[in-house]
Every structure is written in C-alpha cells, then in structure tokens.
Amino acid sequence: MRVNTFNFFNRCKRFINATMITLLCMVFFNCIMAQSDWDNVEIKTTKITDNFFMLEGRGGNIGIQIGEEGVLLIDSQFAPLSDKIHNAIRSLSDGPIKYLLNTHWHGDHTGGNEGMARHGAVIVAHDNVLARMSTTQLMKAFSTEIPPSPEAARPRITFSTDMTIQFNGEKALLLHFDNAHTDGDAVIYFPVSNVIHMGDIYFNGRYPFIDAGSGGTIDGIINAVNQVLFIANNDTKIIPGHGLLSNRDELLTYRDVLLTVRNNIHDALAAGKSEEEIKAMNMGGKYEETWGGQWTKASDLAEYVLRGLDN
C-alpha cells in the first residue's frame, strides 16, 4: 500500500500543532520499521527426530510433531509470523494441522493462534490460559495492559490438572504445574519419542522471566523442573521456551541456577536486607557471568522472585 505522507501531514496541520506532527512522524516511521523487522525474521527448523522438529523465529520455541494423522503444534509465536510459520510447517508435512497446544498464555507463544486456527488447528491449553486470554491482563513487570485475545485465538479444549492426547500413534501428555512461570503452565511430554516441551518454565542459558502478576513463583518453577528431571533421561530431547534445544544435563544446571538465586534471596531476607539491597546484590553467584544479562538481569530476577513470594 502506497502512503502519501506529504498530503497526509498537510491535512493534519489544521488540527494538530507542530509537536503533535513530530510525534505522529515518530509513530509512522516506527510502524514502518516494525513491519520491516517482522519481514526480516527467519524461521529456523531444527530436526529432533524423524517426526519431531523445533522452530525458532521470534518469541517462544515451537514444537512440531508430524505423522499419518497430520500435524500437532506446540505454541505459535507472534501473529505477524503466522504465514512464515505455516510455510515452515508445509516444508515438513502437507498433512492437516489438527492440534495447537499452548504452554501458557503469553503473546509470544499464543499470538499466532488465530492464524493456525484458520488452518484448522484445535487449540488446547490449561483452564487458566483461557481465563487470561479472555480478559484484559496487566503485565505488572512491564506496567502494560494486554487486551483480550480474539475469540478465535482462545483455547477450545481446556483441562484443569493433566490431559492426554493420542495422536500420530503416540501419547502427548499435557502436565500442568501450579504457579511456575504463570498459573497456567503445561509441559508437553511424548514418552515414546522421548521429547519434552517445557514452555517458559525453562529458559536455556539465561535467567528466566517469572510472571508473578500471573501467579508465577520461583518455587513453582523449581518444582516443575525437578519433576521433569525425574521423567527425563540422558537421551531426552528438551525444547525450552527460549534458547537452544536442550537435554537433561543442561536442565539440571538450570535447576541449580534457580536454587542458587532462590536460596541467596531467602538468606538475604532472613538477614534483614531490604528489597533494594537484595536487587543490588549478585544473587546468581558463580552463574551470574554466563546466565545473567542476556534477557533478564540479576536485579530483575530478584524482583520477580520477591513479587512471587506474595503468590
């Protein structure tokens, strides 16, 4: 679409002053840059097994199972990437897209739901995912209101504890963990293929974001990780919410990072340290250099943990 910016701004001059024109220019060109940025995102496909793949683009990692019955997806990234993701799926399988499983409600994992629903996917998630996607949400960590998702993007099948889907000749176990990254997290486990998608319960190689405003807690994440460690073995392929394809040994290190942060914060609270003092401390210990600063800084993680103590 061609936009005649000269005529557009001339018409606006009668109604807004020079300051507002400047602001409008900023918004206009930011929109152009944002569109261009989405255009530049590439979808990378990693083969896990003959019928399992991981897609990386922007947002949470996508899991794909293909087989005679069709395609099962885990998470959908952002809406502007739906066509690219669909093309990546079609490079792997021409079968019908039957299911889309959401690990939690955040937009970098559910933004493409509506697009995949148009391709026939039935969306499945925890009860709390539907509840949060159906109402305005406040992301307290970023002081941002998230409007309700379109009805077509919301889950059509929900569960309260755990759920099993039999598809493409094997079971997909949807395991809910209370108050981990959010209050609606699901880990998706395929016992036969020995593949696990952990959603944002697992940030590989970086400190996690814990959405305390959505019921998330570090204790809940540690509990979930411990249970996944119990069912995983040395051959298990683990898809994290963010980061590279992983395994049990790397997940074990992640658990140790979380324990270090959690225990240091508890010790600081017991010693009477204030919130600001705790946020200024190195709570990651020896892990700070390699795990800190990529996405979530140590001070941010400390704040998420402290907020989660109220949940």
Per-residue pLDDT of 42-61, as tens digits, reads 999 999 999 999 999 999 99
- 24 with 170, same domain? no
pLDDT for the residue numbered 275:
92
Q: Mean of the per-residue pLDDT values for the chain?
A: 88
Is the predicted pLDDT of residue 34 greater than 60, yes or no? Answer: no
- 31 with 126, same domain? no
How far, in whole angstroms, is CA 304 from its chain's centroid?
A: 16
Alpha helices in the chain, H assignment, sequence order: 5-12, 18-40, 82-90, 107-110, 113-118, 127-133, 218-231, 248-270, 275-280, 288-291, 298-308
SS3 state at 165: strand
pLDDT for the residue numbered 297:
84
pLDDT for the residue numbered 139:
85
Cα dihedral across residues 234, 252, 232, 211: positive or negative: negative
Strands 157-159 and 122-126, sheet pairing: parallel
Is the predicted pLDDT of residue 12 greater than 80, yes or no? Answer: no
SS3 state at 14: coil
pLDDT for the residue numbered 9:
36
Is the predicted pLDDT of residue 5 greater than 50, yes or no? Answer: no
Domain that holds residue 228: 41-308
Q: For residue range 224-279, list pLDDT tens digits in order.
A: 999 999 999 999 999 999 999 999 999 999 999 999 999 999 999 999 999 999 99
Q: What is the mean pLDDT of residues 122-133?
A: 98
- 248 with 131, same domain? yes
- Comparing 5-14, 143-152, 157-166, which segment has the lowest mean pLDDT? 5-14
Q: What is the mean pLDDT of residues 99-123?
A: 97
Is the predicted pLDDT of residue 88 greater than 80, yes or no? Answer: yes
Q: Hey, what long-range contacts does 144-149 have (CB within 8 A, 24 or more apart)?
A: 146/107, 149/110, 149/113, 149/114
- 291 with 258, same domain? yes
pLDDT for the residue numbered 148:
96
- 22 with 46, same domain? no
Residue of 13 and 281 predicted with greater confidence: 281
Q: What is the mean pLDDT of residues 34-41?
A: 73
Q: Which has the closest alpha carbon to 65: 184, 160, 185, 166?
A: 166
- 32 with 55, same domain? no
Q: Are 234 and 225 in contact (CB under 8 A)?
A: no
Q: CA 82, CA 97: separation in Å to the nearest integer?
A: 13
- 160 with 21, same domain? no
Q: For residue range 169-221, list pLDDT tens digits in order.
A: 999 999 999 999 999 999 999 999 999 999 999 999 999 999 999 999 999 99
Residue of 172 and 296 predicted with greater confidence: 172
Which residue type does 239 have? Answer: I
- Locate 311 and state its tokens: 């949940």
Is the predicted pLDDT of residue 15 greater than 60, yes or no? Answer: no
- 128 with 267, same domain? yes
Contacts for 99 with CB less than 8 Å, ≥ 6 apart: 72, 73, 121, 122, 124, 165, 167
- 11 with 88, same domain? no
The total of other beta-carbon atoms located within 10 Å of residue 299's CB is: 15
Is the predicted pLDDT of residue 122 greater than 90, yes or no? Answer: yes
- 25 with 146, same domain? no
- Per-residue confidence band for 21, with pLDDT thresholds at 50, 70 and 90: very low
Is the predicted pLDDT of residue 123 greater than 60, yes or no? Answer: yes
Q: Which has the closest alpha carbon to 281: 257, 297, 294?
A: 297
Which run of H or of E encompasses 173? strand 170-177
**CATH number, domain with residue 228:** 3.60.15.10
Number of domains in the chain: 2
- 197 with 59, same domain? yes
pLDDT for the residue numbered 18:
31
- 146 with 19, same domain? no
